[in-house]
Chains A and B, each alone.
Chain A
Amino acid sequence: MTTADIKEAILDILEGITPDDDLSNLKDDVPFREQLELDSMDFLDIVMELRKRYRVQIPEDDYIELRSMQSTVAYLEPLMKNLQKA
């Protein structure tokens, strides 16, 4: 998967988690929580969806890497670069 593919995958997951939010203006370098109504259960949803869709395991200590689109994509690139787009 390319960087763009990973970003698209994250957006697709976020659309399911926050169906009331408009994600079209989401800023990559601003924390998700400052732009969306996300709580800890929502972040666990991101982790779970990555596990279900791509079999990517994220250790609890690394959850902090999911704070923004930029940090999430940077964290996932080495884990997902050899995967096929879902």
Chain B
Amino acid sequence: MVAGPPDSHRIVITGIGLTAPNGDTLRAFRDSLLDCRSGVTPYEIRYVGSTLAGVCRFDELKYQKKKDLRRGTRAGSVGVYCAHEAIADSGIDWGNVDKAQVGIYVGVTEHGNVETENEIYELKGFDYDTKFWSHHHNPRTVANNPAGEISLNLGVTGPHYTIGAACAAGNAGLIQGVQMLRLGEVDLALCGGVSESIHTFGIFASFKSQGALASHADPTKASRPFDVNRNGIVVAEGGCMYTLERYSDARARGAKIYGEIVGYHLNSDASDFVLPNPDRQAECMQKALKRAKLNPEDVDIVSTHATGTASGDAQECIALRRVFESSPRTLFNNAKSYIGHAMGAAGALELAGNLLAFEDHVCHPTINVDELDPECALPGLVANQPREMSRTTTILNNSFGMLGINSVLIVKKV
């Protein structure tokens, strides 16, 4: 038997806090995924007009004052809510945690667009005279803002920063947490990803110009990865933060453990601004499996990245077939079909939506597959109805982003 890493290098998930368009707790989110309940609704935004989006409805005033909301950003509020919920879920004695030994690592697809658009909109009313430009603009738009708001709210004096990794950012935030714990830089990592993207018209307009903004008469059917009639992305907001600890620390305090992060990998396509590259995606999955010392047939569920674009879903399926051709038992699902694309939060949220499968041994489906695209007909695709499994011990989570950034995370039941 090959010896595993020492317990101090084994990193486990001990708490999860989230807000998604169809649930503001892990339990509520999981129930929505098992009940096939979408969170996509009609949405209005300036200049673009009527469209669709995944909108979160968490209680902003649960952990912040009205003044905090006025001073900060939506991404900051999402992060504060999720971080508090994760800490509460972890059961850690927060009052006695050394806050200098806590690190905050938040994945973001973009940050600052919302505030910049709002300021320019205001400035138009003053004939673009910059003396009416807000002094809040810089603190709201610095790239570390969402992580910094969490630090301010929780009194964390360890490192805080965001990781800009397009739509691979949720996984990237978690990977950063794993690495910093292994390096001994921190003793507790608050990490994951957030998205405020539905509050910037630019992201909707850009996807529309690209021919990649989803539309459908029924909002709940607009996000439809793998379906032959998919027509693009539904933009969503959301967040998901985790508490990560060394296994030795978690075990010593008798913590509940959701799973162990046994493998990960990040790489780049180096081939196109927007088009994915299945060669590099497959390589990313294979290297994550190698790091985890696992074979494809050891993986029970793959949470796919698929966003509902014609090209993206088919390209990911090429990579998935290549990696998992030897494993007909592996199942594939997708959470974007329920909530849309939560951008920087997507990877972290989609992993969370699957983790309770370690307890209930059910694979949630991808919904809205009315006519499966032959190019996406993976043998193990779980479509439209949950599937019970005899056992679930290993989940592989894909998250890919623009400019060709790929991230894969593998979590194993402890």
Residues on the A chain within 8 Å of B71, using CB: 41
Tell me if B's interface is mostly helix, strand, loop or mixed.
helix
Interface membership of B135, Cβ < 8 A: yes
Question: Which residues of A in the span 3-49 have a Cβ within 8 Å of any Cβ on B?
Answer: 16-20, 37, 41, 44-45, 48
Distance, CA A65 to CA B29, complexed state (A)? 52
The answer to whether A48 touches B135, judged by C-beta atoms less than 8 angstroms apart, is: yes
Distance, CA A16 to CA B65, complexed state (A)? 13
Report if A52-B126 is in contact (Cβ < 8 Å); known contacts: A41-B136, A44-B135: yes
Question: Which residues of B in the span 50-94 have a Cβ within 8 Å of any Cβ on A?
Answer: 65-67, 70-71
Interface membership of A81, Cβ < 8 A: no
Residues on the A chain within 8 Å of B65, using CB: 19-20
The answer to whether A41 touches B67, judged by C-beta atoms less than 8 angstroms apart, is: no
How many residue pairs at the A-B interface have CB separations less than 8 Å? 24
Residue of A nearest to B131 (CB): A51
Distance, CA A52 to CA B126, complexed state (A)? 8
Distance, CA A20 to CA B134, complexed state (A)? 21
Partner of B135, one of A17, A19, A41, A52: A41
Distance, CA A20 to CA B67, complexed state (A)? 7
Distance, CA A18 to CA B65, complexed state (A)? 10
Interface membership of B132, Cβ < 8 A: yes
Distance, CA A41 to CA B142, complexed state (A)? 16
Report if A20-B66 is in contact (Cβ < 8 Å); known contacts: A41-B71, A51-B131: yes
Chain B 7-28 near chain A by CB (<8 Å), digits 1 or 0? 0000000000000000000000
A22 to chain B, nearest CB (A): 13
Distance, CA A45 to CA B132, complexed state (A)? 11
Residue of A nearest to B135 (CB): A44
Residue of A nearest to B71 (CB): A41
Of B67, B70, B126, B132, most A-chain CB atoms within 10 Å? B67
Residue of B nearest to A57 (CB): B131
The answer to whether A18 touches B67, judged by C-beta atoms less than 8 angstroms apart, is: yes
Distance, CA A48 to CA B129, complexed state (A)? 13
The answer to whether B134 touches A19, judged by C-beta atoms less than 8 angstroms apart, is: no
Chain B 278-290 near chain A by CB (<8 Å), digits 1 or 0? 0000000000000
The answer to whether A19 touches B132, judged by C-beta atoms less than 8 angstroms apart, is: no
Residue of B nearest to A21 (CB): B67
Distance, CA A51 to CA B65, complexed state (A)? 26
Residue of B nearest to A16 (CB): B70
Distance, CA A52 to CA B133, complexed state (A)? 10
Write 24 A-B pairs (CB below 8 A) sorted by A numbering.
Answer: A16-B70, A17-B67, A17-B70, A18-B67, A19-B65, A19-B66, A19-B67, A19-B70, A20-B65, A20-B66, A20-B67, A37-B67, A41-B71, A41-B135, A41-B136, A44-B135, A45-B135, A48-B132, A48-B134, A48-B135, A51-B131, A51-B132, A52-B126, A52-B132
Instruction: Report B's interface with A, CB cutoff 8 A.
Output: 65-67, 70-71, 126, 131-132, 134-136
A17-B67, A48-B132, A52-B126 given; 11 more Cβ-contact pairs under 8 Å: A18-B67, A20-B65, A20-B66, A20-B67, A37-B67, A41-B71, A41-B135, A48-B135, A51-B131, A51-B132, A52-B132
